[in-house]
Structure 1
Amino acid sequence: MVTSPPRRRRRRTGWTPARQRRFVTDLATSGNVRDVCARIGLSRTSAYKFRDQPHNAAFARAWDAALDRYMADIADEAAARVSEGETRPVKYKGAIVGERVFIINRLLTALLLYHSSPRTSPAKPPKTSTLST
């Protein structure tokens, strides 16, 4: 008598379609993978491993699109800060005596760095020896 191997059941935990949708939605509003993973109850490491699997290319594209939406919101904020500046109170002996406008370029710098770097990790080439035989 031949027995068939036990069928592998789909896990109810892990990266279910519902969790994937929630991850992408939350990522578009917060831009922080660690915080979103904590909210959905999965690890940051598992998120990156799941994303890097070849059969999860649609999830990786959705991840990138969510970050692009988040960065578009940040771009609007950066533009406002660069053009209008940020008003801070001036204090003297504990009392507010005036205001100063500061132009803050750090957010704009971060935005430019984001747009100039690749968003997906390229496939790692196989390790080869540098020694010739």
Structure 2
Amino acid sequence: MSGSPPPSPVPTRKIARQATSAAAHVSPLPEDDDPLLAFAPYLHKQPRRNSITPDLQRRFVAVLAASGIVKQAARSIGRSIEALYKLRARPGAEGFAAAWDAALRHGTERLEDCALERALKGGFDDDPVSGWGGRGNGLLIYLLNLRGAFRVDERDLRPGHPVYEKIRREVLDEQRERERGTS
């Protein structure tokens, strides 16, 4: 992974400081020995020419961790978002799905770092070069809230919490299924 960087978007600005933010740039890819890439990939029973191979799955996860953007990671391996979501949902692709989620968390943490840096440096408010005039901060806050909504703090998981109750229902349903199968 670390040997070849992901394709970078072609800059459309004359000088680098005119780019919209650090979040628009891809951070370095994880090293080959990064635990994020140590997942069990989905293995196709009868691989075809356009199958998403284990190497492509790892490349996708690496670029996703570096960019935080699913579309960009899909483009980097030459596959559609739809094909990747289908692969993610297949039985046997749990390792890939877990690595995908971990890569998104990594991307979200990067986004939060960029937001903190903006807050400390003053952000884009009244920036005549970018022309954003403060609009970028509102969008950043929206994205952080949206992505943060899927986080669950383990300390909050107790009876009554929606995630706790969902997991409880799933476990009880599985237990009932097993009891029906043995009786």
Fold conserved (TM > 0.5)? Answer: yes
State the alpha-carbon separation in 1 of the partners of residues 62 and 134 from structure 2: 33
SS in 1 for 2:79: coil
Deviation at 1:56, TM superposition (A): 0.4
TM-score by length of 2: 0.49
- Deviation of the 1:77 alpha carbon: 0.8
In structure 1, what is the Cα distance between the partners aligned to 2:139 and 2:87?
32
Which residue is 1:24 aligned to? 61
Distance 1:77 1:9, change over 3 A: closer
The alpha-carbon deviation at position 85 of structure 1 amounts to 1.6
Q: What corresponds to 1:124 in structure 2?
A: none
Q: Which runs of 5+ in 1 are unaligned?
A: 1-7, 91-100, 119-133
Counterpart in the other structure of 1:56: 93
Q: Percent identity?
A: 38
More strand by share: 1
Equivalent AA in structure 2 for residue 15 of structure 1:
I
8 A Cα contact 1:27 1:70, kept in partner = yes
* Separation (CA, whole Å) in 1 of partners of 2:94 and 2:62: 17
Alignment of 1:2-13 (within 5 A): 9-13=46-50
Partner of 1:109 in structure 2? 142
Q: How many residues align?
A: 102
- Asked if structure 2 preserves the Cα contact closer than 8 Å seen for 1:79 and 1:108, the reply is no
Q: Which AA in structure 2 matches 1:83?
A: L
Contact 2:60–2:74, Cα closer than 8 Å, also in 1: yes
**Aligned pairs for 1:40-119 within 5 A:** 40-86=77-123, 88-89=127-128, 102=134, 104-117=137-150
Q: Conserved in 2, the CA contact under 8 Å of 1:82 and 1:105?
A: no
Unaligned runs of 5+ residues in structure 2 are 1-44, 152-183
Matches of 2:79 and 2:102 in 1, distance apart? 21
Q: Secondary structure at the residue paired with 1:42?
A: coil
* Cα gap change, 1:77 to 1:12, in 2 (>3 Å): same
CA separation in 1, counterparts of 2:116 and 2:139? 11
What's the CA shift for 1:53?
1.1
Segment of structure 1 superposing worse, 29-38 or 49-58: 29-38
What is the deviation of 1:12? 4.7
What's the secondary structure of 1:24's corresponding residue?
Answer: helix
Q: AA paired with 1:106? A: L
TM-score, normalising length: structure 1? 0.65
Q: Residues 76-123 of structure 1: CA distance to partner in whole angstroms, max 9, x if unpaired?
A: 111122233225139xxxxxxxxxx959243133112211137xxxxx
Structure 2 letter corresponding to 1:115? G
